[in-house]
Chains A and B, each alone.
Chain A
Amino acid sequence: MTVTVDQILFLITALVTMGAAATVVTAQNLVHAALALIATFFGVAILFVLLQAGFLATVQVVLYIGAISILIIFAIMLTRRVMQDSGPQTNQQWWLAAVFALALFAALWVVLQQVPALQQASGSLPIPGDSLQLLGFGFVDPNQYLLPFELASVLLLIALVGSIVIAGEKQ
């Protein structure tokens, strides 16, 4: 079996992403965890590029790296305690959590092995060149995704109002 350039790129990206993800859940310093989270987001963006979803890769960078991670870092700074920032960052059941996560991964892996269709998918299907237009048209087409589109705006409104009510109350 020969290794292609695609596969090498994928493996490097996957390795970096998983390393960063492992740092997110193990780092003692929360800001380090947040920066590793940003690295993970970036790795996922590269994976989207490899999957030829350039728009989603850009959205991933704009939204996750540019907005959500800033929100997370602000929240870390707002809730920082010197005492709680040092010392172990895991609770007593961490080993149980690790066992559970490993068991879940093993189960998922077994399932993946047993579905032949997943092994055979080759990725040779043609990607439509105007996928962006299809997406934009799908958003406003009543026969496609109009409802999720409008619901997303309602969801965002509720999130905005709720967060302001919760975080903005006067002490």
Chain B
Amino acid sequence: MVPLSWYLTLAAALFCVGLYGVLARKNAVAILMGIELMLNAVNINLVAFWHYLEPQVMAGQMFTIIVLTVAASEAAVGLALIISIYRRRNTVIAEDVDLMKW
């Protein structure tokens, strides 16, 4: 059998790759993709814990679906913001949006 720690390690690695994408990418859409990776890593964790620790309680799967909902909402609103910024300022580079920067 595959030990639980393998899944957790994979999820941690996926989370860190996503985090790198969020921190290092210039393009705002790419930053959002990094966030999606991180949310997926969280989902792997949730499902792995459900499978290994409490398969008769559906909380793990339930939480995963809520995370999916949040991911969908986040993608929808985030991308809408990016499109709006692009139409006003003609850029999708996160660093160029610095009007509020002190």
Interface residues of A (CB under 8 A from B): 4, 6-7, 10, 14, 17-18, 21-22, 24-25, 30, 33-34, 37, 40-41, 44, 47-48, 50-53, 55-56, 59-60, 63-64, 67-68, 71-72, 74-76, 78-79, 81, 84, 88-91, 93-94, 96-98, 100-102, 104-105, 108-109, 112, 118-119, 121-128, 131, 134-135, 138-139, 144-145, 148, 152, 155-156, 158-160, 162-164, 166-167, 169, 171
Contacts and interface: CB of A to CB of B under 8 A. Distances in A.
B70 A155 contact: yes
Nearest to B12: A108
B74 to A, nearest CB: 8
A24 B52 contact: no
Interface in B51-92: 51-56, 58, 61-62, 64-66, 68-73, 75-77, 79-84, 86-87, 90-92
Contact of A101 (B1, B17, B77, B95): B17
A65 to B, nearest CB: 12
A97 B30 CA distance: 15
B12 A139 contact: no
Closest A-B pairs by Cβ, 7 of them: A97-B23, A25-B21, A159-B73, A167-B80, A163-B80, A94-B24, A97-B24
Contacts of B53: 121, 125
Contacts of A34: 33
Contacts of B14: 17-18, 21, 40
A95 to B, nearest CB: 8
Given A51-B47, A51-B51, A166-B84, A25 B66 contact: no
Contact of B51 (A17, A18, A76, A127): A127
A25 B90 CA distance: 23
Contacts of B69: 152, 155-156
A25 B47 contact: no
